[in-house]
A = this chain, B = another copy of it.
């Protein structure tokens, strides 16, 4: 027969920490602490299997459960020297739910269970404190009525208020034992009135009521929703923990508190927590009284006048400190504990892994390795890669005074201070003079790219988390606050109004892209630290990962940032971003507006030296690391102005008429530009564009090499290939350019030609495409768009619904859809390498910076991931974690 009940306490337990599935997290840790000989009030856990049985059998408990609970209760009573329901010497218990993972919607704690009119009187006699006894009693009724019977908390507060008014007092503490006994009676009447049944006075009835409420809460709508959203199985069930009460509210040698074994913000190894003298657990949470720090050092740092527990209850403090050390050594992780001190005696009520800030996680992991508590692999696994992002950007000094003027979306992390500029050109100009600028726009467009590059940060009045400003800023690593709707921007006037405040061009503001806040003036900042613990952990990660980490970088500045963060090459250099800068856009537009190939070639020849210059800078910065350059990808209409008011200006600049420009823009308009005339399709219809780019790349490579720098490892990438013949056609043309350059210079550039795999057809035909392609780079953004038939720009409306309705677990643009897109990637790897063993495989979509996607890439056997510069450390760590946890497909 199954064991339905597991006892703990008194230095021993039926269970262990390993039995989390059966006993729930709380029960397993109570058992573990008991086994460790720590002072845990005795109790028992009703297993999750009871819950499962309960629901599988029409809400009936298994045979033998009642007997098991009775014996367990009796044992607890024996250990405590009390008896459940006995008037003279009552055993009081707490009842708590406890699933494998903590879950909102589950039943809260019921304390002081076992009290009724008789046992309350007995408790009064036993403790000699009838006020304590009746206050506990009336609190229990209120809590039970609320948590178990589902009555409103407010009903009981009303009664309390009425009684205080009648007596003419203001504070609860001014009520005496008699008042509280009377109030308890009124509470019971109220329960009987509202539920139609008397309040249960029998302790066992109370207990089964509470147990039933815990199991019932497993099917509460909130719990069900949470489970659906987090893929928690219905049949996991919850356990119920019944534990003897200990009282922190028994006078000035009693207390209750919570503590972290290390500082959860900084990771410093100090006992960090709060306590309240003469209080029960809920008082700490309720916030009626301000808790005091547990340790003296924290009190001193906080300049608190009220004494720490170390000073008030030194013995209990010493014991707690010892317990915490023991727990850390045992669990080999920072712990978050709950404790109660009853008459100077310490009791541990809970322990679990403590949540911690990114900085703390890093420090704790590294410190624990140095302390010999954990090994490097465990340290690597302990740090959430996503949290590293916070550490790479300057942050506002939390203690500095600040004048908040607006709030928007936290669109790209980090903080920045600078002069306000309202146009990209102005931004570039001021930045060129060496001053810091914040670019402020109603919304940004591709024409603003050069300004965004020049700016320290970007602020927009409109646009969400996936607006142009947000996406580009994240890619560039610029802090950005988007959609700050309170800003009324008048760019022509060079000012913006925020309420009554007016900020003018040149005024200083500070933005915090991590919180979405905008401040007036400069706010002092803390600079990120890439050495120390960060450097140590990254070093460990680098030593075990199989995946290389490259970066997506379109400029030498990006490349430099990424190298500082440890990038091992460029996996995606988007040449089109270079086309927006300064005068280039004019030449680009001349290319587009050309009437024939000759005009087009003339315009392209103006672009050639500019592109070559870009590549030279980038190649020099990369010092011989691999650089993958993607030839022109976006549809041409992206380079033309969209708004009527810009057309005249642009036409003048391009030396043509507005009418012609408008006509060309209309001709280039597409129903579905994502699936339109872009990528290699441009290269095929206008081969001279790709030929110019290839020439710029080759000439730059030779120039850098001739200048004595390390020869660049050049990889030319053709986008949007679906058919091998597309690649054949373009490869032949690029090879002709290389041959022509060899003719001219006597030296042939060394390079690979490869392709993006970003269409399902390309993935399926990878075997054939690899006959021509010398490497593959998975463009998982577009592969997701095509495989799922989902436009990233348009999906926001319904993807949110999908997440709410649990139709998908995660946004497939954030974390790769391993089942669908993932199968295409795996097929392409397999087929590509079958044709060309050792084919170099990488990923350059935004998934390259997402830890779950990186794990997938590791498993699929890719050679590298490429991500935006600020995600490089994230990717390095995630790649290491993947190497620790997952097998890898053979090459």
Residues of A with Cβ closer than 8 Å to B? 670-677, 681, 684-685, 720, 722-723, 725-726, 729, 758-761, 764-765, 782, 785-791, 793-795, 797-798, 801-802, 805-808, 817, 819-821, 823-824
Contacts and interface: CB of A to CB of B under 8 A. Distances in A.
A81 to B, nearest CB: 56
Given A760-B820, A764-B823, 6 more contacts: A674-B791, A675-B791, A685-B801, A723-B807, A725-B808, A786-B786
A794 B681 CA distance: 12
A789 B786 contact: yes
Nearest to A726: B807
A790 B817 CA distance: 22
Contact of A672 (B674, B684, B788, B808): B674
A794 B676 contact: yes
A790 B729 CA distance: 19
B672 A820 contact: no
Contacts of A671: 673-674, 791, 793-794
A720 to B, nearest CB: 6
A672 B673 CA distance: 7
A675 B685 CA distance: 25
A687 to B, nearest CB: 10
A816 to B, nearest CB: 12
A806 B725 contact: yes
Contacts of A765: 819-820
A370 to B, nearest CB: 47
27 contacts: A670-B791, A671-B674, A671-B793, A672-B673, A672-B675, A672-B785, A672-B793, A674-B791, A675-B789, A676-B794, A677-B795, A677-B797, A677-B798, A684-B805, A685-B797, A723-B807, A723-B808, A725-B806, A729-B807, A759-B789, A760-B787, A760-B788, A761-B787, A761-B817, A764-B820, A765-B819, A786-B787
A676 B725 contact: no
A801 B720 CA distance: 16
A233 to B, nearest CB: 16
A789 B824 contact: no
Contacts of A823: 764
Nearest to A820: B761
A403 to B, nearest CB: 36
A793 B725 contact: no
Nearest to A787: B760
B675 A720 contact: no
Contacts of A817: 761
Nearest to A672: B791
Contacts of A795: 675-677
A671 B785 CA distance: 13
Contacts of A673: 671-672, 791, 794
A817 to B, nearest CB: 7
A862 B793 CA distance: 36
B670 A722 contact: no
A806 B802 CA distance: 43
A815 to B, nearest CB: 15
Contact of A761 (B720, B788, B794): B788
Contacts of A764: 787, 819-820, 823-824
Most B Cβ at <10 Å: residue of A672, A676, A759, A764: A672
Contacts of A723: 807-808
A823 to B, nearest CB: 5
A462 to B, nearest CB: 14
A498 B807 CA distance: 57
Nearest to A761: B820
Contacts of A758: 789
A681 B785 CA distance: 15
A720 B820 contact: no
Nearest to A789: B759
Contacts of A685: 797-798, 801
Contact of A675 (B675, B760, B806, B819): B675
A820 B765 CA distance: 7
A826 B765 CA distance: 14
Contacts of A684: 798, 801-802, 805, 807
A823 B673 CA distance: 26
B722 A820 contact: yes
A787 to B, nearest CB: 4
Nearest to A684: B801
Contacts of A759: 787-789
A789 B782 contact: yes
A677 B794 contact: yes
A511 to B, nearest CB: 28
A745 B96 CA distance: 50
Most B Cβ at <10 Å: residue of A726, A729, A788: A788
A670 B725 contact: no
B675 A785 contact: yes
A888 B356 CA distance: 61
Given A673-B671, A676-B795, A729-B807, A821 B761 contact: yes
A764 B819 CA distance: 8
Contacts of A675: 672, 674-675, 785, 789-791, 794-795
Nearest to A822: B764
Contacts of A801: 684-685
A681 B798 contact: yes
A329 B761 CA distance: 48
A497 B216 CA distance: 80
Contacts of A790: 675, 722
A720 B797 CA distance: 16
A823 B726 CA distance: 20
Contacts of A820: 722, 760-761, 764-765
Nearest to A679: B789
A802 B729 CA distance: 11
Contacts of A786: 760, 786-787, 789
Which 8 pairs, one residue from A and one from B, show the smallest C-beta to C-beta distance? Answer: A761-B820, A675-B791, A672-B791, A760-B760, A676-B794, A671-B793, A759-B789, A670-B794
Contacts of A720: 789
Nearest to A793: B671
A806 B821 CA distance: 30
A129 to B, nearest CB: 58
Contacts of A794: 670-673, 675-677
Contacts of A677: 794-795, 797-798
A441 B873 CA distance: 61
A860 to B, nearest CB: 15
Contacts of A722: 788-790, 820
Contact of A760 (B729, B802, B807, B824): B824
Contacts of A788: 722, 759-761
A669 B791 CA distance: 13
B789 A670 contact: no
Given A675-B675, A729-B807, A793 B670 contact: yes
Contacts of A791: 670-676
A130 B797 CA distance: 91
A675 B798 CA distance: 12
A27 to B, nearest CB: 33
Contacts of A824: 760, 764
A451 B805 CA distance: 41
Contacts of A785: 672, 675
Nearest to A807: B725
Nearest to A720: B789
Nearest to A681: B798
Nearest to A801: B685
A808 B825 CA distance: 24
Nearest to A676: B794
